[in-house]
Structure 1
Amino acid sequence: MSAPEAPGDADEVETLPLGPALLFCPGDRPDRFGKAAARADAVLLDLEDGVGPAHKAAARAAIGTHGLDPDRTVVRVNAAGSTELAADLAALEPLRPRYVMIPKAERPEDVDRVVAALPGAGVLALCETARGVLAAPEIAAHPAVVALMWGGEDLISSLSGTSSRHADGSYRDVVRHARSTVLLAARAHDRSAIDAIHTDLADAEGWRAEAEDAAASGFTATACIHPAQVPVVRAAYAPTPGQTAWARELLVAADAAGAGAFEHDGRMVDGPILRHARLLAKRSRPAPSPPSSPDD
């Protein structure tokens, strides 16, 4: 007899099955492509903020021949309102990337423009402006969107603010609201959700705390900007030994109890608690190791 299932919780498949640690890499640094891919669960090759205007053409040429695993590679193009986007899409058309990230996404039509040029691409929509955050539910509903991500610095800029964080490093209320809004929109439409980068490279405790909160809140991945952040993020998304033991014990008890709610260790267990346990048990399974880079 198998453990009773709540509706929709049986080994759910993410629309963006890349793993928890996604590492940005500037598109004009092809010498780093292999290293980034080897160190992270997936690499985000960047044509936008990580590349200066004078280096955009070189970045397009490098990304067009990157040679990385397409199932573990995302290309971030320039925003829909940018004069650079047309050149990005033209350069990527022969490559036909599997995943494309659209920064500053503000409407479903931004997604339409990309998929018209790159049919079949799964779109990661980065909602990082006031308009984009408010439109997150409509963007998430687009059939080509596989994930939503959010960003605090561009959001504050779009609000004419000056800082996304308080002096103690915590997010301002409006930024926390945007983070929650994008997460809710993504998960309400069964899309994956990616938490924002942590820009303070000296704040290792901050990386850890935010990644742990992201994993517990329902995000499926966190974007990184430095290889040192990757193991911290992976550890944050992996259940602790205690959580793994609890989940497995509870699922065994559920199997013995049969269908319906039951009591276990003085606590009533029903569908939502079982979903938590199944997710923890699933995350405790070892993930396949990415291939090693010859540059390692």
Structure 2
Amino acid sequence: MRVTSFDLGPALLFCPADRPERFRTALERADAVILDLEDAVLPDAKAAARVNLIHADIDPERVIVRVNPPSTGHFAADLEALEQTPFRTIMVAKTESTEGLAAFDDRFSLIALCETARGIHAAPEIAAHPLVAAMMWGAEDLVASLGGTSSRTPGGAYREIARYSRSRVLLESGAHGKAAIDAVHIDLDDVQGLEEEATDAAASGFRATACIHPNQVAVIRAAYLPDEATVVWARAVLAAAEQERGVFRFEGRMVDEPVLRHARSVVARVS
């Protein structure tokens, strides 16, 4: 199935909507900025954050707005503010059903953030929603929704429930032709861990990774960019395929259509 066009990645940087002085800088440093009306903004600052959103003078094509969950009282106010802006790519926090997306019309492109047990459970239906262009998952809220205390083991790896949820969001996104966005790496000092997870995300099929600090942008970009040897191989095998019919041997490896699709994905990332 064809994947929905999603060209805002690979590094999507969160920026609190109550810090308007950071908007332009965040957008300059990342591939797209996620102006956050939800968790990054305290309840008593949300009204001011909406005003900042209304007056934000930055490229709407590279802006995502994360609104509060549909189940909260802040959601309606967020929608009212959005109507006064040019921003139309919306990340819906704690998406748990398609009912929560009914407030949007076809002017909007939605990123469903599945970060609770209910959201992961409903991922197939959410991914099928016609306004959903991409899906993202979140580890910390997910574990909290289960009554847990940590998404990671003492060694830093994700616990199995987090790994399952990450895979489920990726699979359901792909099954419905939607893009998938990997979760943030909250340990700002763990550059190696971020690099490993972003590299795995790119190799697994995620289209982007969200981040919470500008210093993480370069690491994510590098992880999504194929190394030179891989690019050379991809271009060579695609060139060889033009002279072959069906399955063929290339550099000691059997090549069929799935391998060629991998090669096309590599070339697309450097085009």
TM-score range, shorter chain: over 0.9
In structure 2, the partner of 1:102 is 92
Residue 251 of structure 2 aligns with an amino acid whose one-letter code is: D
Deviation digits for residues 214-262 of structure 1, max 9, x if unmatched? Answer: 00001000001000000100000000011001101111111122x3111
Measured after TM superposition, the shift of residue 263 of structure 1 is 1.0
Deviation digits for residues 62-98 of structure 1, max 9, x if unmatched? Answer: 0112111111100000001111111111111121422
**1: distance between equivalents of 2:246 and 2:57?**
50
**2: distance between equivalents of 1:134 and 1:155?**
11
* Structure 1 runs, 4 residues or longer, greater than 2 Å off: 12-16
Residue 270 of structure 1 aligns with an amino acid whose one-letter code is: D
Structure 2 counterpart SS, 1:109: helix
Deviation digits for residues 156-200 of structure 1, max 9, x if unmatched? Answer: 000000000000100000110000001001111010100000000
Residue 18 of structure 2 aligns with an amino acid whose one-letter code is: D
Residue 217 of structure 1 aligns with an amino acid whose one-letter code is: S
Q: Does 1:264 align with 2:250?
A: yes
Candidates 33, 39, 46, aligned match of 1:56: 46
**1: distance between equivalents of 2:267 and 2:259?**
12
Candidates 45, 61, 69, aligned match of 1:79: 69
Candidates 280, 289, 293, aligned match of 2:266: 280
Root-mean-square deviation (Å)? 1.1
Structure 1 counterpart SS, 2:47: helix
Candidates 22, 27, 30, aligned match of 1:37: 27
Tell me the TM-score normalised to structure 2 length: 0.98
The aligned runs of 1:122-201 (5 Å cut-off) are 122-201=109-188
Aligned residues: 271
**1: distance between equivalents of 2:216 and 2:134?**
21
Unaligned runs of 5+ in 1: 1-7, 286-296
Measured after TM superposition, the shift of residue 16 of structure 1 is 2.2
Structure 2 counterpart SS, 1:22: strand
CA contact (8 A) 1:15 1:147 kept: no
Residue 104 of structure 1 aligns with an amino acid whose one-letter code is: K
**1: distance between equivalents of 2:264 and 2:43?**
47
Q: Higher relative CO (CA 8 A, sep ≥ 6), structure 1 or 2?
A: 1
Unaligned runs of 5+ in 2: none
In structure 1, the partner of 2:235 is 248
CA contact (8 A) 2:179 2:207 kept: yes
**2: distance between equivalents of 1:139 and 1:96?**
25
**2: distance between equivalents of 1:110 and 1:241?**
44
The aligned runs of 1:214-253 (5 Å cut-off) are 214-253=201-240
Tell me the TM-score normalised to structure 1 length: 0.89
